[in-house]
Homo-oligomer: A and B are copies of this chain.
Amino acid sequence: MKQNSNVPAFLTKLWTLVEDSDTNEFICWSQEGSSFLVLDEQRFAKEILPKFFKHNNMASFVRQLNMYGFRKVMHIDTGIVKQERDGPVEFQHPFFKHGQDDLLEHIKRKVSSTRPEENKIRQEDLSKILSSVQNVHDKQENMDSRLATLKRENEALWREIADLRQKHANQQQVIKKLIQFIVTLVQNNSILGLKRKRPLLLNSNGKKSKFIHPIFDDPVDHSKGLVNGLNGLKSNSDISDDVIICDLTDEDAEVTDDTSKNFDQRDVEIVEVQIDDDTAALVEANAERESSDGLEAACEDITETATEVPETSSALQVNKPSVLSHEDPVKMMDSILSENGAISQNISLLGKVELMDYLDSIDCSLEDFQAMLQCKQFSIDADIAELFSPNNTVNSHDIGGHTSKETDKSKENTELSLREGKSEGDNADKQLIQYTTCPLLAFLDGCSSLPPEPEVPVCDLGENLLERAAEDPGDLLEPSLETQELPRSTLIRLEPLTEAEASEASLFYLCELNPDGPGPEAPQLEV
């Protein structure tokens, strides 16, 4: 037997013990040499074991055998209860065979099962932890992806909004120019004091009333009509030239009926129609479907402007670009059309020369229009940013009566709303602030609803709104969400709204005739 290095003492001792012919009466190889027998357990333990080990216990010997993987050989024929105490005990191990001591080194003592067990348990714990970490990590990647997607969508949305706002601003410019052109054109009419011949016909359906006037009317009749119109301080005209903004999608005819009624009943002040609070109060519409607070506030601000900025354009300024100062189209149209009626004098008093001059002035208006379309007046002195300030065009064409206080206040509001939007970065509950609180420019935004309390100063309403927005920005959006049926985007649905979708929820229209109520200066149906 090689006293080989890596073979435990127990195995070498056991090999020696079994091999030793002196101990064959107690322990020896089996017939086949693949196992060994302990013949007399009692004497073997007491007489033999102490010679090789530090004990004389058969149990300890067997314990060591078990520690090295030896197995007791069960004999079926002797396996029953008999021969329990005295019969021989047989042990075997695959690498413990007669004459093959070189196999001993393959017999490994069992390591403390404590540690592997512990390892197993720990590894199970580790596996759980690691799988948990993996889960979290996967979720995180998923969220990263969603976050990136959302971020990308957000950027696209911001771009879209920037684009839309740009379009909006451009449209505002276009509208402003168009209205200014009309203003110029009509003011030119007014300077010659042409009188309207016919009352305004309220066309109530798609068919426009046709005005096919005989070209060769009696000139005398025309003259008379003009004389009457020019001399009267108040016209009997049943025409209402007031323009208000209303919601066209409003299917019920209430507003229309009201307005037409009012139009019929209202008196037309010829010389000067003072746009007052009453007028503003009348500029109301059914806010049934369009109820965004921001839009309402914008409308209020518009009304405010229309109410508080005196209009002083006069016929004396015809052919001057002062009309460019008209900031509020409603007001502009209103005052223009009013002036048209007010300044009108009897055309019969005009000679042909004057008529020609008047017609010429129309040409001038066309040219003015072209000039306006060139945008020179606006692109030069109006800062781009100023375009969104209520006093933007006033800068270059201030016609007076527009106090700087008003302007400053409006500016303040605008800035406040913008600040509000920016402060959201600190707000855990971030909300996009609708920028439409910018008062004046929100005017032709389709904002059709006006506050139901016209007596409350609209500028205060606007401020209140902003204050509310400062406290809870969500308020600006919540109401519109409840009332509008605009589709709400989800994380899943990323497609843009179709224009049809965008419009069908709440489509409102800009203009409506201002239903002036009857007043002391506006006797009804004087015709």
| From B149, B362, B477, B480, contact of A189 by CB (8 A) | B362
A231 to B: closest C-beta gap in Å = 15
A226 to B: closest C-beta gap in Å = 8
Contact with B along A160-182 (1 / 0, CB 8 A): 11111111111111110111011
Given A54-B55, A122-B122, A509-B375, CB of A158 within 8 Å of CB of B489: yes
Apart from A203-B371, A434-B496, what are 17 other A-B pairs with CB-CB below 8 Å? A147-B491, A153-B430, A154-B491, A158-B488, A161-B161, A162-B501, A166-B507, A170-B444, A174-B511, A189-B362, A206-B396, A208-B367, A355-B356, A384-B500, A384-B503, A387-B503, A387-B507
A296 to B: closest C-beta gap in Å = 13
> A120: CB under 8 A from chain B?
no
> A483: CB under 8 A from chain B?
no
Assess the A486–B360 pair: CB atoms within 8 A: no
| From B169, B206, B477, B506, contact of A502 by CB (8 A) | B169
> A493: CB under 8 A from chain B?
yes
What are the residues of chain B within 8 A of A372 when measuring CB–CB? Answer: 208, 511
Given A147-B146, A500-B385, A510-B170, CB of A210 within 8 Å of CB of B430: no
Task: Please tell me which stretch of A26-34, A62-70, A91-99, A125-133 contacts chain B, meaning at least 4 of its Cβ atoms lie within 8 angstroms of it.
Answer: A125-133
Write the chain B residue with the least CB distance to A427: B494
Q: Of residues A156, A198, A436, which shows the largest number of chain B Cβ atoms within 10 Å of its Cβ?
A: A156
What are the residues of chain B within 8 A of A503 when measuring CB–CB? Answer: 165-166, 169, 384-385, 387-388
Q: How far is the CA of A501 from the CA of B162 in the complex (A)?
A: 8
Assess the A206–B381 pair: CB atoms within 8 A: yes
Given A167-B168, A376-B206, CB of A432 within 8 Å of CB of B222: no
Assess the B213–A425 pair: CB atoms within 8 A: no
Task: Please tell me which stretch of A81-89, A265-273, A304-312, A346-354 contacts chain B, meaning at least 4 of its Cβ atoms lie within 8 angstroms of it.
Answer: A346-354
Q: How far is the CA of A361 from the CA of B203 in the complex (A)?
A: 16
The number of residues on chain A lying at the interface, defined by a beta carbon within 8 Å of a beta carbon of chain B, is 191
Q: Of residues A445, A494, A499, which shows the largest number of chain B Cβ atoms within 10 Å of its Cβ?
A: A499
> A340: CB under 8 A from chain B?
yes
Assess the B432–A215 pair: CB atoms within 8 A: no
> A421: CB under 8 A from chain B?
yes
What are the residues of chain B within 8 A of A162 when measuring CB–CB? Answer: 484, 486-487, 497, 501-502, 505
What are the residues of chain B within 8 A of A177 when measuring CB–CB? Answer: 510-511
Given A211-B364, A353-B219, CB of A488 within 8 Å of CB of B155: yes
> A18: CB under 8 A from chain B?
no
What are the residues of chain B within 8 A of A399 when measuring CB–CB? Answer: none
What are the residues of chain B within 8 A of A169 when measuring CB–CB? Answer: 446, 499, 502-503, 507
Given A54-B54, A377-B205, CB of A211 within 8 Å of CB of B367: yes
> A261: CB under 8 A from chain B?
no
> A368: CB under 8 A from chain B?
yes
Tell me the A360-411 residues at the B interface (CB within 8 Å): 360-364, 366-381, 384-385, 387-388, 396-397
Q: Of residues A372, A447, A497, A500, which shows the largest number of chain B Cβ atoms within 10 Å of its Cβ?
A: A500
What are the residues of chain B within 8 A of A197 when measuring CB–CB? Answer: 360, 363
Q: How far is the CA of A494 from the CA of B435 in the complex (A)?
A: 13
Assess the A174–B292 pair: CB atoms within 8 A: no
Q: How far is the CA of A185 from the CA of B153 in the complex (A)?
A: 46
> A277: CB under 8 A from chain B?
no
> A320: CB under 8 A from chain B?
yes
| From B173, B200, B201, B354, contact of A510 by CB (8 A) | B173
> A202: CB under 8 A from chain B?
yes
Assess the A153–B154 pair: CB atoms within 8 A: yes
Tell me the A132-152 residues at the B interface (CB within 8 Å): 132-133, 136-137, 139-140, 143-147, 149-152
Q: How far is the CA of A205 from the CA of B447 in the complex (A)?
A: 32
A sample of 8 cross-chain residue pairs with beta-carbon separation below 8 angstroms, ordered by A number, consists of: A157-B489, A171-B444, A189-B362, A198-B363, A208-B320, A213-B361, A217-B353, A421-B494
> A11: CB under 8 A from chain B?
no
> A433: CB under 8 A from chain B?
yes
> A274: CB under 8 A from chain B?
no
Contact with B along A95-118 (1 / 0, CB 8 A): 000000000000000000011001
Q: Of residues A170, A434, A481, which shows the largest number of chain B Cβ atoms within 10 Å of its Cβ?
A: A170
Q: How far is the CA of A446 from the CA of B294 in the complex (A)?
A: 24
Assess the A170–B126 pair: CB atoms within 8 A: no
> A357: CB under 8 A from chain B?
yes
Tell me the A269-318 residues at the B interface (CB within 8 Å): 292, 294-295
Tell me the A206-245 residues at the B interface (CB within 8 Å): 206-213, 215-217, 219, 222-223, 226, 239-241, 243
> A37: CB under 8 A from chain B?
no
> A204: CB under 8 A from chain B?
yes
> A42: CB under 8 A from chain B?
no
Assess the B321–A206 pair: CB atoms within 8 A: yes
| From B215, B381, B428, B499, contact of A441 by CB (8 A) | B499
